[in-house]
Structure 1
Amino acid sequence: MLSSRLPLVIAFVAATACSAQPQQSGTAPPVASPGDPATPTPSPSPPPVTTLPDNAPDATVPNVPATTGRANLSATTPPFATQKIGQFVEPFAIAILPDGSALITEKAGKLKWRRTDGTVADISGVPKVLNEGQGGLLDIALAPDFATSKLVYISYSEPRTVGSSLALARAQLSGTALSNVQVLWRAGSDGVGGQFGANILFAPDGQSLYLSSGERQRFTPAQDPEQRLGKILRLTLDGKPWPGNPEYKAGGARAETWSTGHRNPYGMVFTADGHLWEEEMGPQGGDELNLILPGRNYGWPIVSNGDNYSGKMIPDHPSRPDLEAPKLWWNPSISPGGMIVYSGALFPQYRGNLLIGALSGEALIRVSVSGDTAKAEEQWAMGARIRDVAQAPDGAIWVLEDDGALVRLTPKG
């Protein structure tokens, strides 16, 4: 964290920008069957959470300030020609289909299909969501074999007896309807709180998937190995624990966990060299870009390069060198949204770079990566909160703005 702290009024604004407002969420029994010898035993679900803590637990180590890795840049004029190609209501995520059409989720529980001619149709059959606070219909991703299977995966806040739970479902896209909808996985730990994470990413070989699960504004579940909150999970395509996970044999939530100690992990990508990169929202400051390694602990809420919204200090990452530190971090916050690794033809100079949408930062940020290192290169002022980023088949960059606009970016001139 920086030696000079932001005023509390800015902390409040940052909290709003980082989508940290309370919201309902709930619990559901794990899908796994205890009687299946191939499936580890599920963890028991804790009682529903009805109130949220104000601050991270008290520090147990002296603060050692972070002095390297800060990625804040001065905003510059974007090198893009922009074209608005759609308008949606509280959109969250976009998945571009092979033919150049796109599926867009709206938090209220609507799934839209933007056809290649620009017309928009409603997709029916979406599971019921709890549209409250940060919850609702969240991410959408095409199955690795979508071209033949027409399967899509969606994440959402599922209504529970108390609050909601992050859920992952799979369905077949048939024209303008979802059919054969199956709930594959639930986070459990029902109750209130935002910060769902909810990003879906398939492994490069298409045989497994990664799902980010936020800690729901509850802090301590991120360090609880028996809860699925504050984790990156690796699952089979059917939502079961991946057999190669670090603690697969332990059963329950441990069997599903790839990495732990995350706050609100929003974006994940694989680069061409097979590295898994993830970005997540910190508290007041301390947004992170992490290189994700199996079995590692990324520190939340024990350490952060930001502070509680109340102004109460959290020790910086160097205070606990046994925990994984981010490769880059932002303070003040940028509130990272979606992220892609660019591979298209229209911007050959950006191939292999990460493009990160920023909500409170109202920017698109370019980061170069090489092996296990990252460098913030440019921060383009977009004049809008960027919720998600996607790459079209022709190499154009599509950004989904929080005000609902879908914008296509192409080279100037």
Structure 2
Amino acid sequence: MKRLWRASALLAGAAIALAGCSQTRINDGEEQTTTVNRTEEKVDEEKVRLDALDPSAYGNVEGLNLEAGTYLSIIGKASGGDFWDDVKEGAQKAVSDINDALGYKGEDRVRMVYSGPSESGDVDEQVNILDEELARYPQAVGIAIIDSQSGDVQFDLAAENGISVVTYDSLSNYQNVMAKISTDNTAAAAEAADHLAEILGESGEILIFAHDSRSVTTQQRVDGFTQKLAADHPEITVGTTYYLDELEDLKKTIADEINAGTYAKEGQEAAPIEDEESQLTAEDISDEEAMDYIFEKNPDVTAIYGTSGEAVMDAVENTQRLEKEDVSIVGFDATKEEAQALEEGLVDGLVAQNPYGMGYATVVACSRAILELGNEAEVDSGYTWITADNMEDPEVAAMLY
């Protein structure tokens, strides 16, 4: 379903209480409460996040009568970080709810292990982790696949051994996946395009900072954004799309242009480097020089759209370094670092996803697959648009991670 989930519609569980002067999280493993700055409202954070899931059946564990000792493996794109910690927390809560509902204790408890690459986005390590987990014969695996072209061999092996596979966040087109849990990335990207067009007054040039070139998620966020601009905001143009995982290729391009005399580093004159031993390679180009090149090639840029928290903060760092305070920035995720940048006016708006809900729903989908209850092909985990003006609303603040 392509729709913007608005957290304000989910405030059925809100209570009124006296709040402090700073945002506080209380998390005892069973219940989460968020108290927000300068308000008197207190909301059930877990309820807000689970109510965002569509269909709603993925926000509870009713009827999931798993056998004692069932083992689930949940694999992310990274072992830690704000987003993935929330995924893990949501998955753990779902397992805890299942055990409580079934009265399982000790060795009878349903078990779940969350794992991910030590370095975010490491495809080879994620595939190795998947191999290791399949060797432990879990009843189901939930995975946020980094590279849409990887994992098919492992998924075939899982099918041969009766191991159900569910994908979440970043998906795979593998035909035997039991369910896909994610943000409606196309709709969310289109929403970001509308907001950015309004910020720009319907004219300007935008750079896209994309977190990788390999995942279905990134392509959806890029395509959804650019197609919305083309359809409804024709006076806004898109310049370079910069993929964070193609930095070395970009550096090689820069080195080649410097060697050919068609580009020069700041403070230098462009001239061919005839001596082959003196010619530059990608290793001679720094990350900062690569970013200088992007802005040099797009001198009229007025905004940047980032497809992930990392991409958004990369945009913030470099616009600050280059003193481009007039460049607007919007993008995905709502990490602590991004929320701080939003509050300081360095970012104009963020699409907050629902990683806690993704983790919870992934465990539910894995359990349904094991029990042959059937799954929805796609589960929408929800999102909301966050700005400096609404980030302290309790139901919106509940979506920060």
Same fold, TM-score > 0.5, yes or no: no
Instruction: Specify the TM-score bucket, using the shorter chain as the normaliser.
Output: under 0.3
Normalization by structure 2: what TM-score? 0.27
Higher relative contact order (CA 8 A, sep 6+): 2
Structure having the higher Rg: 2
